[in-house]
Structure 1
């Protein structure tokens, strides 16, 4: 095993704003096994600024060129969702390992295409479901599997995000159009149901009500009003393998603490967290009513906010690459989660309960 750090190339780097600046680059400061080698952005000026700010040796105005750079080992894709496909395919064709932000693609067909490309490439891939991979969520899953609260009976979740409110910043205007694949349902909804399934098991059946409560959105500082075509509120009722039933509410335009309350035959388990961007962006804590094994302490010290769980996913992904293991959520997980979200959308549109086994067969 080489002691040299894995050289990373970031598609979507910007020193002024963005998810890479807020989450990925602070996280890498705690990970000596990873090095920022290259960055790309929509202009050379932005790329040069990012390279200077984050210490990259190379800066590209073309993300596809960066993805093919022979000196890059891992490509991290942090651009807007409609741009994922081309960069991921270029990186896989060049034999790179790929970390791609969630959602993987704009729809199921593209998601399946990228998963198939990853299988052909044989390299390591990770999908950015950092909330479901968080230390606290994995600990909660372990406690439930080991019977710490007995058999899970009911789960109540309220998961909020400040996004998709009455006003959106200009760089988030594209989030209002469901055709772009980056919506409340895919982002807040996807992260939340991934956490739910990680703790209480896969959904067997779902019913849902997805609603657009604010159909017109003001773009801050511009006076522009755009139509919102994606849901800004979700109610999901489900039955899980093992019999647990769940109620999940996804709320938009709110900055309230996560509510994750699981009742079992022998006690209760809660996951607590609070971040305006959604639970997946912050620190999480597990609390149980019976005495239980304490939550492990993360080895990544000094990280705050959005960098906490992203850093853990980067660390686990790097470990997989170096050790030949496959532990982190990958593109196959992205396919399954995308199918689940499609089933939730169908359940809402058709006003019926969807058996997931049947839906998964129909989708495949």
Structure 2
């Protein structure tokens, strides 16, 4: 691919811990068409340390200043969800392309605002649904759409994460408060729902039972107990556009393997993987029916864990920016996923099935 490398500015960099360090930075180092140009953090000291560790030319203690830097082409938003809105809007107003981590926003109304701003800006945006964009999930989707298992009949998923258990580290205390928009439902649930929709099509009807099984959470190392106001277990059943039905369980406080089993009229397809942070954080394997096309291998070398799927998403996003195509999940897709989560919340609270597009119509 021709052209100078696209310069990335990271809002939310930390050399000692965090998603940017573990996933974004190694992913970008495997992609010659992208370069880390600037970082921001909540203090100048943390920003300077991150710039030194990641090889960035500039460091900011204000992410809004980073978003407006004229030498940055793409702003990557990897801060906490409540901080997404201000940084994304600043980047769009400055004409930057934006890669924002999922969840896009604290709620659907805020997500709709950001999607509208992206349309007005006319730039490329990507939402960090790297699991649904992974080579394995795209391969599974291709097999299904090419008829490898016949007509999809039923899908069973168990998707687990070690988060939202009985104990949380101090920097994850905010994940227990549903008002912050970063919950088991939005993070593990959103990623899992996106995977299901990518393989068998969009949900047209959902029912759910969302539960808070532990209403107090210990903050590690402090003995403090905080209230959990978000669900820590989800049971979702749905019907999809092609008639396939699904049952999806989102399990917290557990590192069990992903279970994704799709039965069709002519065969069965499975996706397997394991990572304590959730299925989207590591390599996945597709097992199709006998004689089906094998899963392609990535040509990106030296990547492991969380960086694997993030690198694939960055690669496609770069291709979109350079070609003018729009193939990656964008803020419009994020809005649809936020609305689906709203429908699941309504279904659980009211005890009946809900059509996600009815939620959309009411807005």
Question: For the superposition of Structure 1 and Structure 2, which TM-score range results when normalised by the shorter chain?
Answer: over 0.9
CA distance in 2, matches of 1:191, 1:122: 26
> Paired residue for 2:312?
312
RMSD of equivalent CA atoms: 0.8
> Paired residue for 1:30?
30
The answer to whether 1:293 aligns with 2:293 is yes
C-alpha offsets along residues 29-59 of structure 1, whole Å, 9 cap, x if unaligned? Answer: 1000000000000000000000000000000
CA distance in 1, matches of 2:44, 2:334: 32
> Paired residue for 1:250?
250
CA distance in 2, matches of 1:29, 1:292: 34
- Assess if the C-alpha contact under 8 Å between 1:39 and 1:56 holds in 2: yes
CA distance in 2, matches of 1:208, 1:104: 22
- Assess if the C-alpha contact under 8 Å between 1:271 and 1:287 holds in 2: yes
Give the length in aligned residue pairs. Answer: 363
The answer to whether 1:139 aligns with 2:126 is no
Name structure 1 gaps, 5 residues minimum: none
CA distance in 2, matches of 1:19, 1:170: 16
CA distance in 2, matches of 1:231, 1:71: 42
> Paired residue for 1:44?
44
Deviation of 1:296 after TM superposition, in Å, equals 1.3
- Assess if the C-alpha contact under 8 Å between 1:268 and 1:290 holds in 2: no
TM-score normalised by L of structure 2: 0.99
Deviation of 1:297 after TM superposition, in Å, equals 1.2
> Paired residue for 1:58?
58
> Paired residue for 2:273?
273
Deviation of 1:358 after TM superposition, in Å, equals 2.2
SS in 1 for 2:132: coil
Deviation of 1:63 after TM superposition, in Å, equals 0.4
> Paired residue for 1:229?
229
Deviation of 1:2 after TM superposition, in Å, equals 5.2
CA distance in 2, matches of 1:300, 1:215: 43
> Paired residue for 2:199?
199
> Paired residue for 1:263?
263
C-alpha offsets along residues 323-343 of structure 1, whole Å, 9 cap, x if unaligned? Answer: 111000000000000000000
> Paired residue for 2:76?
76
CA distance in 1, matches of 2:308, 2:119: 29
- Assess if the C-alpha contact under 8 Å between 1:149 and 1:290 holds in 2: no
- Assess if the C-alpha contact under 8 Å between 2:339 and 2:356 holds in 1: no
Deviation of 1:356 after TM superposition, in Å, equals 2.5
4+ runs of 1 displaced by more than 6 Å? Answer: none
C-alpha offsets along residues 58-95 of structure 1, whole Å, 9 cap, x if unaligned? Answer: 00001000100000000000000000000000000000
CA distance in 2, matches of 1:110, 1:358: 19
TM-score normalised by L of structure 1: 0.99
Deviation of 1:204 after TM superposition, in Å, equals 1.0
Deviation of 1:22 after TM superposition, in Å, equals 0.5
CA distance in 2, matches of 1:182, 1:263: 32
